[in-house]
Amino acid sequence: MPNGEVAYFSAEFGLDESLPIYSGGLGILAGDHIKAAADLNIPLTGVGLFYKKGYFQQQINESGWQQQHYPDVDRKASIYPLQPVMDAEERPIIIDVTIAGRQVHATAWCIRLGSVTLYLLSTDVDANSDADRDLTNTLYPSHPDVRISQEIMLGIGGARLLAALGIQPAVWHMNEGHSAFLAFERIRMLSAEGVPFETALEAVKASTVFTTHTPVPAGHDVFSIGMIDHYLGSYYWQLGADRARILSLGELDGVFNMTRLAVSSSSKVNGVSKLHGEVTRELFHRWMPHIPIPDIPVDSVTNGVHVGTWLADGIKKLYDKHLVPDWAFRTQEPQVWAAVRDIPAHELWEEHQQAKSVMVQQLGLALASPDENPLIIGFARRFATYKRALLIFSDLERLARLLSDPERPVCLVFAGKAHPADEPGKELIRKIVELSREERFKGRVHIVENYAMDKAKKLVQGVDVWLNTPVKPMEASGTSGQKAAMNGVINCSVLDGWWVEGYNGRNGWAIDGDTSGDPDQQAQQDSDMLYRLLEEQIIPLYYERGDTAIPTEWVNMMKESICSLTPVYNTHRMVSDYWNQIYVPAMARGRRFAADGLEIASRVGAYKQFIRDNWSAVHVKKVELLDADGGSNGRQKSIFRAEIALGAIWSKDVRVEAVGSDGRSGIWRSKLEPVHQLTAGQFVYEGASPDIPIDVWRANVNVRVTPISPDFANDFELELGAWG
């Protein structure tokens, strides 16, 4: 396979704590993605930004308030060596991008990991003004002007960098919408060769894929239309379309939405867990009101984590001893992990104790008494309010009783950063600090400063229980619990994100509250369920020692957790899924669209334009139900007959279906065929009722017309539908 087959764009990459250019789960996922691609020898080129000061370093002051520090990232300290990227004359490469009418220059650094190269652009270049030099200083700046400038540099600058290096990716993967401007730049490059806009858009779309990570509208990156005009106004004409057409790719509710742009310019969209796929379909339904939620073309690939990065040394050695010798290359195979069941309980327990004491020591946790070995519960992630770090403090008396039982002591360890502009997030930290100082919680509640990959490793390896209490369904996937599981740490989590798929009733604990009520009620229910789990199951199981010094049933649960979760929730499985389900089809599609001078791209572009121009004439005029012969058991057959006006559109270019709810969360569809033409552009369609009970389909049936093409990536690519 030639190099550069997959281009992977992400605003953050978390490879190692020594290169702090990530803020949280998105960056860790990107780092783990490219490490797994390298392990699997997949040719992938990563594109991101080199943030001179990275994400901030956190200090918590005396009053519990988060302080942000921005030291320069020490490039030399990175365990992944950074090389300057050179041009053909062996000078540092310079990429020029016009931002708000100014020429901004960028250089690039590169990191090599086997088959993968990661390029990181930086505007810290002598030729730039001081303000422009600072554009790539920090990750996720609050100021929208800096943010859009970074996104222009990432998307447009990134595409230019690949072109300058002669890299021609077969598929372009946008990891979240921050990089979606890359679609504009690819269209511009084609336009410069004389390719018309609609053809260029189709060619770009065919070879672009998009992973969305945000389950709520408020989480999507948006800019005002005025800002887009200001920043890219001088660029529109180079794309070969008018301003309105260009803006239409991202315009939504009066602003320019980067997720919308990413969807408009991709042929495949995926969420990061099955549940998140569903939530995303519901979310996108607002933009595509003609398409029922189950038909919205969004798939899912559930996140995983990179085993080699997150495993404790001692546990790794234990696996070396008891699993097949090449287990680290066969992490996707359940039978490889089944051998964990045969590891003697005391060996697994002792390795876990080892990881636990390393954590206690290195994180400097001052336990209430030096010779006790409490059950330790970890909660570490970004302090975003939806993650509800304070849920376990809902009933302070009940919690205090639970933590300070002298026979069965329990400790809580928290860590995490709040985004500098997130005052409610910082307030969560302050509150935990305050609580940790109360007499009843002294030595029982701990908070660790400056959460980053190094601290994360210690925590996911060393605590006994990994707690996660988000507001369902706001955790798109979550990955820290996956890191914990492979280390024998047991998850206790709201059934959200990946845990809905991973939880099997035996491999951890689930908080499964009703999510239909109001947020306070949900919190009340979830916290009550959490306390009950702790009181009735978790603490008793941990302290159930029988006549050995080991909690045998607890260790069995650790084993069940490792065996059932690790083969699935790792990035080898995840990247294989991306390769098979997303990259390979998009590569084939991209090549097909580009072949013979972009013939198919040109045809599809023209076809879509024709359909859009003529769609207003499409109507479902009359729907009748005729009795048919046969049928039994309440499945009596009927015939749908519909009169459809198509105007100038050909009957072969639409699909006509009777569509209804199946009475659960799915839908049924029955195809109708044209049986005769009434007049020009007017047809009669007929089809049989579905093979489900008559009272189900009769209750809810409509006839829909959708434009189709064998060249579409999915049945709803035009996002159009006429109903009657």
Ligand X SMILES: *Cc1c(COP(=O)(O)O)cnc(C)c1O
119 and 47 in contact (C-beta within 8 Å)? yes
Cβ-based nearer residue to ligand X, 470 or 721: 470
Query: Which residue, 69 or 346, is less far from ligand X as judged by CB?
Result: 69
Angle between helices 144-152 and 225-232 (to 10 degrees): 50
Is residue 668 within 8 A of residue 637, CB to CB? The reply is no
In terms of DSSP bridges, do strands 654-661 and 116-122 run parallel, antiparallel, or are they unpaired?
A: unpaired
Q: Which of residues 8-47 bind ligand X (CB under 6 A)?
A: 24-25, 28
391, amino acid identity: L
Q: Which is nearer to ligand X, 15 or 720 (CB)?
A: 15
Map the footprint of ligand X across residues 141-180, applying CB under 6 A: none
- Interaction between residue 492 and ligand X (CB under 6 A): no
Residue 592: CB minimum distance to ligand X, A: 37
> Count H helices, E strands: the chain?
25, 28
Looking at beta carbons only, is 28 or 343 nearer to ligand X? 28
Residues 563, 337: Cα–Cα separation, whole Å:
5
Task: Write the DSSP assignment of 694-705 as a string of letters.
Answer: HHHHHHS-EEEE
Are 7 and 165 in contact by the 8 Å Cβ rule? The answer is no
**x/- map, 43-82, ligand X, by CB under 6 A:** ----------------------------------------
Q: Considering only 79-87, 218-226, 450-458, 574-582, which stretch makes contact with ligand X by CB under 6 A?
A: 450-458
**Which CB sits closer to ligand X, 188 or 458?**
458
Closest approach of ligand X to the CB of residue 504, in Å: 20
Q: Which of 152, 269, 453, 494 binds ligand X (CB under 6 A)?
A: 453
Q: Which of 123, 480, 507, 602 binds ligand X (CB under 6 A)?
A: 480
Residue 713 has a CB neighbour count (10 Å cut-off) of: 19
Q: What string of H, E and C letters represents the secondary structure of 427-449?
A: HHHHHHHHHHHCHHHCCCEEEEC
Output 27 or 721, the one with its CB closest to ligand X.
27
Report if residue 479 touches ligand X, rule: CB under 6 A: yes
Q: Pinpoint the alpha helices (H) of 9-84.
A: 25-39
- At residue 102, φ and ψ (nearest 5 deg) are -100, 145
The residue among 108 and 376 lying less far from ligand X, judged by its C-beta, is 376
Secondary structure of residue 580 in the 3-state scheme: helix
Minimum Å gap between C-beta 637 and ligand X is: 51
**Under the criterion CB under 6 A, does residue 306 sit at the interface with ligand X?**
no
Beta bridge mates, 494: 511
Candidates 77-85, 142-150, 323-331, 474-482; binding stretch for ligand X (CB under 6 A): 474-482
Q: Does 452 bind ligand X (CB under 6 A)?
A: yes
Q: Which is nearer to ligand X, 147 or 455 (CB)?
A: 455
CB closer to ligand X out of 452 and 539: 452
The answer to whether residue 239 forms part of the interface with ligand X (CB under 6 A) is no
Tokens matching residue 333: 């195979």
How far apart (Å, rounded) are the C-alpha atoms in residues 402 and 440? 11
Q: Counting contacts by CB under 6 A, is residue 273 touching ligand X?
A: no
Q: Which residue has the tokens 């401007």?
A: 181
From 182-190, 243-251, 394-402, 452-460, span contacting ligand X (CB under 6 A): 452-460
Q: Which of 105, 276, 352, 381 binds ligand X (CB under 6 A)?
A: 381
The pairing of strands 410-415 and 171-175 is: unpaired
Q: How far is 58 from 65, CA to CA, in rounded Å?
A: 10
Q: Which positions ≥6 away from 101 have C-beta within 8 Å? A: 233, 234
Q: 8, 56, 319, 451: which one contacts ligand X (CB under 6 A)?
A: 451
Give me the residues paired with residue 244 across strands.
Answer: none
**CA trace torsion 592, 595, 599, 605 (10° rounding):** 50
Q: Are strands 490-494 and 465-468 parallel, antiparallel or unpaired?
A: parallel
Query: Least distance to ligand X from the beta carbon of 498, Å?
Result: 9
Nearer to ligand X, 208 or 469 (CB): 469
What single DSSP character describes residue 538? I
Least distance in angstroms from the C-beta of 483 to ligand X = 6
Q: Which is nearer to ligand X, 260 or 381 (CB)?
A: 381
338-377: b or e for each residue (b if 16 or more CB lie within 10 Å)? eebeebebeebbebbebbbebbbeebebebeeeeeebbbb
Q: Which is nearer to ligand X, 25 or 250 (CB)?
A: 25
Q: Which amino acid is at 323?
A: L
Residues near ligand X (CB under 6 A), total: 12
Smallest distance, Å, CB 393 to ligand X? 19
Please return the burial class of 74, using the count of CB atoms within 10 Å of its CB with bins 0-12, 13-18 and 19+.
exposed
Residue (206 or 485) nearer to ligand X, CB? 485
Which one of 56-64, 255-263, 451-459, 576-584 is the stretch in contact with ligand X (CB under 6 A)?
Answer: 451-459
What gap in Å lies between CA 230 and CA 148, rounded to an integer? 11
Shortest Å, Cβ 453 to ligand X: 5
Selected binder of ligand X within 478, 508, 660, 687 (CB under 6 A): 478
The CB-of-478 to ligand X minimum distance in angstroms stands at: 4
Contacting residues toward ligand X, per CB under 6 A: 24-25, 28, 381, 451-453, 456, 478-480, 483
